[in-house]
Amino acid sequence: MARAIPPLDLVFLLIETADAPMHVGGVMLFERPAAGRPDLVTRLVRGYRAARPRPPFDQVPDFVATGMPRWRRAAAVDLDYHVRHLVLPAGATEQSFLRLIEDLHEPLLDRNRPGFRVWFIEGLPDRRFAIYFKVHHSLVDGLSATVRLVASLATAPRARARPPFYAVAVGPRRTPLPASVLAELGEFVATARHEVSAIGAVGLGLVRKAVDGLLSRRGSGSQPFTGPNLPLNAAIRTPRSFATLALPLAELRTVAHAFGATINDVAAAIVDAGVQAYLADLGCRCDRPLVAMCPVSLRAAGDTTATTNASAMFVPLGAPRAKAGDRMRQVMAALRAGKDEIRGMGRDAALVYAASVLGFAAAAELAHAGDMTGHVANLVLSNVPGAPDDRYLGTARLQAVFPVSVLGAGIGLNVTLSSHFDTMGFGFIGNRTALPDLERMAGHTRRAFDELASAAYALAASDWPAPRGGTRRPARRRRQR
């Protein structure tokens, strides 16, 4: 039994290279229970290896048998290969753990096997352990992956863990179509028909935006091909640099409320400031705003289909040396204009828009045209909502989630956020050859949040009298790992 590969998912398979793998991943940190069994992780690994993968995690891409790109069921799934167990050496640090994640994230997934792998990692400081996983982007987008991860975790400690993300039942199952050439062709045409019909609606606008980028003209809304030439867009090579940052969700909400903004707006503003400060450390100062590619989910409520169902907007961020409050307002306005443009498109046009821009960007990078015109974007900035409550894997409590995302189309930095309970986890993944030591970028982003929180306090304090006996001060932030 087989099914056609939808066009946008097919793009991720076609543009993949050894230097730019198209898989997404994440790190989940867990706290061991105080009186837990010493073989807890070993038992969890055993349970993961015993689980039976569900579609699409039991499928592989097939470009040969019928001439039509399709998913077909793998003859066998070797879960001893897909699920591994590692133990860090005694005295391992947070930094050595991050270096391990970089090494695990670099290689391509084997297309002769289903496109996912999982590593259980013991030996972290404070008796914690981690799960690092990666999944090919042609199988899931951020939201569909998160739905499966959350469903694989319980809301209270349990002696027996729930099935892993690749085996958990989520929503209605799709009925596979007969594996005949005619059936596959019919499904592929039916899937692609709406996207193709939308090309006319998108084409002229996309050409106009490309010309605007060539002529260094700025309009409003989504503005691909206007990113300045920076180390963020250096040729992507295999080595990766990875860093994390955790911030309290409550304080992010407080800052957002002070500016009449969203948490996404706050995250974009502080990442923008953090990246600018990091570039200054490298001796690189830009004279134009950075351009961020921001994925936009197109899923209807309750849609959990394991496929990519998202578009993207390409928005200029704050002025290079703007103050915290001014940068916040500039970013808010840019994101709002980008969202309005994407929402003004139909769903099919929005899908075609994202696929077309990324296709043009990949071709431009192969021709080294971005340095002469403008890059499609300087960084990817994404937010994937997680569980709003505590979650457990067996008896181990999930502490935080840090995405480890994808680089490609000439964009050498990806910053993806994922919320969990009371914490927002930032995952910074970059092209190590041009962007070494992303922990400095994470540190600059934390300091940018402190500055923005002070600006938010000043804004709120202007509307409320100071307390008796002194000046109002921002709440003290707890230290995050």
Domain ranges of the chain: 2-175, 188-461
Q: What was the pLDDT predicted at 335?
A: 94
Triad 256, 257, 260: Cα angle to 5° = 85
Check residue 397 and give its pLDDT: 96
pTM of structure: 0.84
Residues in the chain, pLDDT under 50: 173-204, 206-207, 211, 213-215, 217, 466-481
Alpha helices in 198-306 (DSSP H): 199-214, 249-259, 263-281
- pLDDT computed for residue 46 by the predictor: 97
Give the largest CA-CA distance in the chain.
80
pLDDT, residue 366, reads 63
Cβ atoms < 10 Å from Cβ of 10: 20
414-447, pLDDT tens digit by residue?
A: 999 999 999 999 999 999 999 999 999 999 999 9
pLDDT digit string, tens, across residues 127-170: 999 999 999 999 988 778 889 999 999 999 998 899 999 999 88
Contact between 376 and 401 (Cβ < 8 Å): no
Nearest to 377 by CA among 289, 308, 302, 460: 289
Give φ, ψ of 321 to 5 degrees: -120, 35
Identical fold between 2-175 and 188-461: yes
Architecture of domain 188-461: 2-Layer Sandwich (3.30)
The CATH number assigned to the domain with range 2-175 reads 3.30.559.10
pLDDT, position 196? 46
What letters, b where the CB count within 10 A reaches 16 and e where it falls short, cover 297-330?
Answer: bbbeeeeebbbbbbbbbbbbbbebebebbebbbb
